[in-house]
Amino acid sequence: MNAPKCRLCGDDLTQTFVDLGTSPPCESYLDADQLDRGETFYPLHVRICSSCLLVQLPAYLAGEDIFSHYAYFSSYSESWVAHAKRYVDAAVARLDLDETSLVVEVASNDGYLLQHVRDLGIRCLGIEPAANIAEVARAKGIDTVCEFLGEATGTEVSAAHGKADLVAANNVFAHVPDIVDFARGLRALLKDDGTLTIEIPHLLRLIEDRLYDTIYHEHYSYLSLITTQRVLAEAGLTVVDVEELTTHGGSLRTWSMPTESAPEPSARVAKVLADERRAGLDTVEGHAGFAQVVSAARDDLVDFLIQARREGATVAGYGAPGKGNTLLNHAGVREDLLAYTVDRSTFKQGMFLPGTHIPIHAPEKLAETKPDYILILPWNLREEITAQLAYTREWGARLLVPLPRLEVY
């Protein structure tokens, strides 16, 4: 069998970063009628390119198969909406944006971010490939183009709406199979002196904190600043600044400009690059050993759940995120170890998790059944969820987070 090709440089991908076996698509929630039918599982075999060092999952599933109709609505997370507002306020101040400016967000979801731009009286446009989510954004008054972004789409959109002063691409850069064409699409949207911001989970944090559940078929690339720079350079973009964020277990927000107008990169760019080199992310060898770390994290969770069952304790879940499905399928957790999970998204309530077939209920189910432990699957929202679950202390429930380290509190 021929080796898959690197999506950045085209070389053969012969080196493994980590192999998590097989799993169904993480957002392919099932209804009751589908439980007795077959499910398709795809490899979660992540490679690293020996030439350009891009860590990547081959496109076992096309983006159109995942994102044309999508189950994730950003506005269900209050902390994520607040994060978006802080970003908008800071970007508007930093770039001196006003009513004459244009802000475009790619993968704009349900308008969670652009609503803050609109409220400031600044013209905005969303580009969102999922038709069901684009409709929700439009209902909020957010002008939204329902398309996948590439160079051709970016050129068409900018011809119709004008070039943007600011383009935001938050937590989407890793979600595109053709990352170079996507980067060129971002450049096509921008004015020659415009600014592009990208938020990405940071590969360095994924490795150091064992965040392997962020590996799933929607995430085609796992990015360091080193490799992000290389991708953007293919589109004529230069990273001029970077922020280190706590979101998603540790993310980067890069600030880029067209190369012809870009100033010298900030000291923060040099600092993050130095951190990555110190960790070995400038070599193939520096990426080794992650498989052993993953096995230890999985074993910690499974050992706890088995012991809880032996002691007669009940465990329920909170949340039904994509990352949780990677975790539960890789660990082989089923209803005997996790009775059910709950989620605030009405879209997911009444459905079942892919692969594991664990039922998803409304949050009120917790008060009805009073589990002894509640496993927080979207651990990146730990603080928000802990506050939401304060009432469970009334019956002595304890909260459990699986990563970065198993913790009961």
Same domain as 205, residue 74: yes
Q: Are strands 42-48 and 15-23 parallel, antiparallel or unpaired?
A: antiparallel
pLDDT band at 3 (very low <50, low <70, confident <90, very high): confident
Smallest Cα–Cα separation from 231: which of 169, 173, 282? 173
In-domain check, residue 139: yes
Supply the pTM of this predicted model.
0.89
400 in any annotated domain: yes
Residues 268 and 119 in one domain: yes
Q: Residue 41 corresponds to which tokens in the numbers above?
A: 């599982």
Residue 53, in any domain of the structure: no
Domain end residue (candidates: 253, 287, 321): 287
In a domain, 60, yes or no: no
- Going by C-alpha positions, the residue among 147, 148, 91, 93 that lies closest to residue 114 is 91
Average pLDDT over residues 316-329: 96
Count of domains for the chain? 2
Q: Specify whether 274 is located in the same domain as 129.
A: yes
Between 121-125, 130-134, 359-363, the lowest mean confidence (pLDDT) is in 130-134
Query: What pLDDT shows up at residue 248?
Result: 83
Per residue in 103-127, pLDDT tens?
Answer: 999 999 999 999 999 999 999 999 9
Is 70 exceeded by the pLDDT of residue 63? no
Residue type, 327: L
210 closest CA partner among 8, 6, 406, 7: 406
Give the pLDDT mean for 333-338: 97
Could you give the count of Cα atoms lying within 13 Å of 195 in the half-sphere of its Cβ?
A: 17
The rounded mean pLDDT for the chain is 94
| 75-89, 171-185, 328-342, range with the lowest pLDDT | 75-89
Give the CATH number for residue 254: 3.40.50.150
| pLDDT score, position 212 | 95
Predicted pLDDT of residue 117: 97
Residue 64 belongs to what H/E stretch? helix 63-67
The residue out of 272, 287, 302 marking a domain boundary is 287
Q: What is the pLDDT of residue 249?
A: 85
Residue 73 vs residue 273, higher pLDDT:
273
Neighbour-count burial of 28, counting CB atoms closer than 10 A to its CB (0-12 exposed, 13-18 middle, 19+ buried): buried
Q: Could you say which of 263, 287, 311 is where a domain stops?
A: 287
Domain that holds residue 371: 290-408
Same domain, 319 and 279: no
Residues 278 and 192 reside in one and the same domain: yes
Q: pLDDT tens-digit profile of 247-273? A: 888 999 999 999 999 999 999 999 999
| Res. 60: pLDDT tops 90 | no
Residue 99: per-residue pLDDT:
96
- 361: tokens are 């209920």
Same domain, 168 and 240: yes
CA distance 310 to 312: 5
| Residues 94, 193 within the same domain | yes
CA angle (352 as vertex; 350, 355 as ends), nearest 5? 175
181-199 pLDDT tens trace: 999 999 999 999 999 999 9
**pLDDT surpasses 90 at 334:** yes
Count Cα atoms within 13 angstroms, Cβ side, for 400.
Answer: 21
Residue 77 confidence (pLDDT): 73
Residue 8 lies in a domain: no
Mean pLDDT of all residues in 298-320? 98
**84, 112 Cβ separation under 8 angstroms:** yes
Q: Are residues 201 and 346 in the same domain?
A: no
> Which residues in 217-230 are b (16+ Cβ under 10 Å) and which e?
bbbbbbbbbbbbbb
- Identify the helix (H) or strand (E) that includes residue 55: strand 55-56
Residue 94 binned pLDDT confidence (cut-offs 50, 70, 90): very high
Domain presence at residue 335: yes
Q: Specify if 226 maps to a domain.
A: yes
> In the prediction, which pLDDT does 71 show?
56
Q: How many percent of the chain have pLDDT more than 70? A: 96
User: Domain of 341: which CATH number?
Assistant: 3.40.50.720
Give yes or no: residues 313 and 225 share one domain.
Answer: no
Going by pLDDT thresholds of 50, 70 and 90, the confidence category of residue 65 is low
Give mean pLDDT, residues 28-51: 95
More confident residue, 290 or 60: 290
Q: Does residue 282 sit in the same domain as residue 297?
A: no
Per-residue pLDDT, averaged over 233-245, amounts to 98
What are the E-state strand segments in 129-189?
Answer: 144-145, 164-170
Q: What is the mean pLDDT of residues 190-214?
A: 96
Asked whether residue 34 is domain-assigned, the answer is no
| Residue 252 neighbours by CB under 8 Å, 6+ apart | 198, 199, 200, 202, 223, 225, 228, 242, 243, 244, 245, 272
Specify whether 302 is located in the same domain as 249.
Answer: no
Same domain, 74 and 185: yes
Percent share of the chain, pLDDT over 90: 91
